[in-house]
Chain A
Amino acid sequence: MAEYFIKHYDDLIKATLGHLQIVLLALAISLAAAVLLTILCSYSQTVSRLILGLLSMVYSIPSLAMFALMIPLTGLGQTTAVLVLVIYNQYLLLRNFLAGLEGVDHSITEAATGIGMTPMQVLVKIKAPLAKGAFLAGIRITMVATVSIATIAASINAGGLGIILFDGLRTMNVPKILWGSILSALLAILVDSLLSLLSKPSKP
């Protein structure tokens, strides 16, 4: 184990950084897309149900199959990997975001509307800050899921820790399998604890 690390630490570090890059890129795009979708959904129940239904269907496609399905469209490599991760993330993020917004006490939103806020102002000034906890919880789940699904991205040549893992599997190299798993688990724990710091309540 340690021997492998000493010999191949540069490969491991490179794979970890590549992994982190895919994850962070996917997360940034996912968040932007989820915010837009959330705003869209907040205007219409019908649209909201439609989008969630569609996303849950897509989410049920196994990731290996999904990566393979995208190859004819966007080819091999990182772009496809990030795209797939973004699509998966939409379900997790949107579900949590919408649940958070719906959890806001109805009397508060009614008062906000009643004193003359536009629907957008109610969303941005009242509902979103009050749903902050649910938002962060959703982002944490999504982050951890992204770290794990991103390993599969190695199957389409996108790099990351999946390379180490799949190589290890193919050659039955146990230290390689272990290092691939340990590092991706550590990465997941790391991003999760960073986010948990953010979700600490700041209000009295």
Chain B
Amino acid sequence: MEKKHKILLKLFISTFYLSAFTFGGGYVIVTLMKKKFVDQYHWIEEEEMLDLVAIAQSAPGAIAVNGAIVVGYKLAGIAGTITAVIATILPPFLVISVISIFYEAFRDNRVVSLVLEGMQAGVAAVIASVVWEMAAGILLEKKWLSIFIMAGALIAASCLSINAVVIILVCIAVGLLKTFMPGRKGDPS
């Protein structure tokens, strides 16, 4: 593993950069973090990243901030948390500070709104690409319970608009039930 201050610096720069370009909800930055810290730097394993996302999602507060906290803590303890949180809130802080001065002109600018509209397609493509890889990983394991949970959670969140916290709580209950009911045909691990 690299030296700690080098990790902190790298963590700061990459989190700052990700936060500055994250338009739209917290899942966008979580997806970008996965690309950066799992696929590019190999600092975190894919399964671990999903666990960290679950923590970020189920705790109170913004997912982007919570995601930065868990990733920072995992990589460098409290120092990592502080580094990642500051790097995450600094870009919106600076941008809003500037915009609050002349926000009406910004809000009504045609080019700005077109660029932002177009970026949605790119954002959706980034999410689709990450989901594609992670879902393939789960489908290839061929554990029926996992596949069933994935499909069920997708329907619950997308079609029935059930709150994410509720979905996570139900999955925790299913997981506990599975542990305390041995002899059932669950997954062998």
Bound pair (A, B): no
